[in-house]
Structure 1
């Protein structure tokens, strides 16, 4: 009768040492990734480096070090680790995913697309990766490919929020605002009460671009219910009221932004415009000059010129407007404002001359043409 232990082969010292080495690597790997989850990055790095001392080409350790560097926003260092891993393990999905994410973070979208496409060769139905690829194609303005992938995601998951939001942004970027509205409104239906504030401000911005300002106010108002100081919602409210020529209401929201950001020169000029439309030229001038004290701003100069025009200082207005023409020679409004000032001074020929100089640029503008025709016919 044979002994039951006869079939059990004892490990050689070398085999036992190798088994112990592999077990230690496995434990260090598990520990390292757990530390990464707990955001104890430096401790995780120690674990992964210990693995590399035992196995200098270990894919888990290389990916782990890449992930650790990525968590610290050291994307170029992370790229080196992922590339080292992929040199020996070209199909490692974790390295491919991390590498693509690094390229995305560095705004190297073409490189990110190449890596994500490689990832999809191994896992073509990964919705997370598909939406990221579509996002990257959107960033490089490949409308057709981006839309194609977003729609593929929606075939797989009918109400995938990332695809719906992405399609909204895609159409918005290409100025197809009505199509963008459809996707963001769908997002609103899906999320209902828990809708992201960015969806609300995006819907508001579509209506702002479409000049349906009343509808824009509704969405920006809902956004402000969530975050009373949200810049984009405050800006949207102010700009919609501006579009409706409700300058007093517009000014209220410009002022709310300035309470948080008093040196925002764009908002200072917008507030100046509101005061000017309301006939408070002294206050308007104060805001324009505050903007100019930060740095040169063409809109502030224009605002001051229009104040001079309104006050009857026509030559001062003309001088300021001619100064703006040097940097913006195709702006038709500058020509018509200069012409208007010359007419106020009784200088009809100079008004015709400045309007004619605009037409010599080869740009067609109905307002300039109509003004010129009226003058030539004898105003």
Structure 2
């Protein structure tokens, strides 16, 4: 039993907490201790739960339920040997207690032995009429095994027992989606809705399935029914807005997103989407207002900073774009997209050293896209940093070993440094992989094109 804030059920809890403050030991029956412990575990107050368990067992040393709570704490703290030992004792005392099996399954699950956990949970099913939680636990264990078909079966059993178990419904749809069974998900949801026509969550999920199949008309209809079922359902308005955007019905999308702002605290997602819709409608002033509100509402939302930076970038106002991307980097200096935009903007402003620094940071953060290596290397060439450029492209070629664009750049750099053997090697590789990219030599290394050796290699290999 969970204690509430405004009834007499919380008297044992108040008495217990008073006892802790005064250090004066009071008596509680075992069921009161169970409720107190359950309350603290639900609240995540593990230290208080442990105190309650200790005091409970001092007063009721033979209580199996209190000792099961002790097992639960052991499992939580990864003290699996202690948990298993205590469970064995309890099993010898009460072999038909399903909670013993559930905690045994928790231990197996913690040890990544999910098949054994499932086996134990299925034994527990035979010992109780209260099967919903067990079905859910079995479903989760199958998810750990990536067995989505079996997981789906058990979550469906949960929903059959309790039609308002929305977590089970979400898990069922998750399984359908992972298996790319969108049509099956739609069939299942339609059958469910025949029995529960005012379930807004099911309508919402049905709309998402139609959206995934690009059947936008049916998706909108499903979201309409979700809203009819609950006209305060923020998620349905958001999803409806996203579909309307895809249909380029930007004014209607704005209307749906705006409703969410009146129903709940403004979300950065809704503000961002409204800004994008206004930008698509050519209303740049309102677009900018909503982008500003987005980053003010949630400075950690990278899409907001990216949207406002790209807004100024499209208008060729690179200094303002740089201003906003610098603000974004000051908030999150580990965001790859920020550094890529930073580099592109600095390059447009001809701030080559800053642009090169941005690409270098992008690579350090693990973004190994070909274009990042090429852009950084080309900037190093322009800055006259030949050795650094060679090192950059030598690293790049480890990721893209048969890439002609890298080979030609290395060839040009080595010829430029009069290291003709290496230059010849890379030029021949480039011609072998793709002779059409030879123009790179002409563009980046015009003097190299006139070398007698280069002309000879071209004549031989083309």
TM-score normalized by structure 2?
A: 0.50
Aligned to 1:48: 68
Check 1:120–1:231 CA distance in 2 against 1; reply closer, same or farther (3 A cut).
closer
Q: In the alignment, is the contact (CA less than 8 A) between 2:207 and 2:222 conserved in 1?
A: yes
Aligned to 1:296: 336
Partners of 1:174 and 1:109 in 2: CA distance: 28
1:327 lines up with 2:378 in the alignment: no
Consecutive unaligned residues of structure 2, counting only runs of 5 or more, are 1-28, 43-48, 54-64, 71-86, 363-367, 376-435, 438-462
1:141 lines up with 2:180 in the alignment: yes
Q: How does 1:1-379 map to 2 (within 5 A)?
A: 38=39, 40=41, 42=49, 46=66, 48=68, 52=90, 55-62=93-100, 65=103, 76=110, 83-87=119-123, 89=125, 93-94=131-132, 96-100=134-138, 102-103=140-141, 108=144, 110-111=146-147, 113-118=149-154, 127=163, 128=165, 129=168, 132-192=171-231, 195-277=232-314, 280-291=317-328, 294=333, 295-297=335-337, 298-305=340-347, 307-308=348-349, 327=369
Deviation, structure 1 residue 186: 1.1
Alpha-carbon RMSD = 4.8
Q: In the alignment, is the contact (CA less than 8 A) between 2:155 and 2:172 conserved in 1?
A: no
Deviation, structure 1 residue 184: 0.7
Partners of 1:285 and 1:62 in 2: CA distance: 61
Deviation, structure 1 residue 287: 1.7
Deviation, structure 1 residue 160: 2.0
Deviation, structure 1 residue 261: 3.4
Greater relative CO (CA pairs within 8 A, separation 6+) = 1
Q: What whole-Å deviation, never above 9, does each CA across 1:167-216 have from its counterpart, x for those lacking one? A: 11222234433322211111112223xx2211111111111222211111
Q: In the alignment, is the contact (CA less than 8 A) between 1:131 and 1:149 conserved in 2?
A: no
Query: How many residue pairs were aligned?
Result: 294
Deviation, structure 1 residue 315: 10
Partners of 1:282 and 1:112 in 2: CA distance: 51
Q: In the alignment, is the contact (CA less than 8 A) between 2:257 and 2:273 conserved in 1?
A: yes
Q: In the alignment, is the contact (CA less than 8 A) between 1:276 and 1:284 conserved in 2?
A: yes
Q: In the alignment, is the contact (CA less than 8 A) between 2:139 and 2:155 conserved in 1?
A: no
Q: In the alignment, is the contact (CA less than 8 A) between 2:200 and 2:225 conserved in 1?
A: no
Partners of 2:267 and 2:104 in 1: CA distance: 35
Check 1:289–1:117 CA distance in 2 against 1; reply closer, same or farther (3 A cut).
same
Q: In the alignment, is the contact (CA less than 8 A) between 2:288 and 2:308 conserved in 1?
A: yes
Deviation, structure 1 residue 269: 2.5
Partners of 2:300 and 2:159 in 1: CA distance: 49
Q: In the alignment, is the contact (CA less than 8 A) between 1:48 and 1:61 conserved in 2?
A: yes
Deviates more, 1:290-299 or 1:235-244: 290-299
Q: In the alignment, is the contact (CA less than 8 A) between 2:200 and 2:227 conserved in 1?
A: no
Consecutive unaligned residues of structure 1, counting only runs of 5 or more, are 1-26, 335-359, 362-379
Q: In the alignment, is the contact (CA less than 8 A) between 2:104 and 2:120 conserved in 1?
A: no
Partners of 2:324 and 2:294 in 1: CA distance: 14
3-state SS of 2:282 partner: coil
Check 1:228–1:48 CA distance in 2 against 1; reply closer, same or farther (3 A cut).
closer
3-state SS of 1:153 partner: helix
Deviation, structure 1 residue 103: 4.3
3-state SS of 1:211 partner: coil
Partners of 2:161 and 2:41 in 1: CA distance: 32
Q: In the alignment, is the contact (CA less than 8 A) between 1:272 and 1:284 conserved in 2?
A: yes
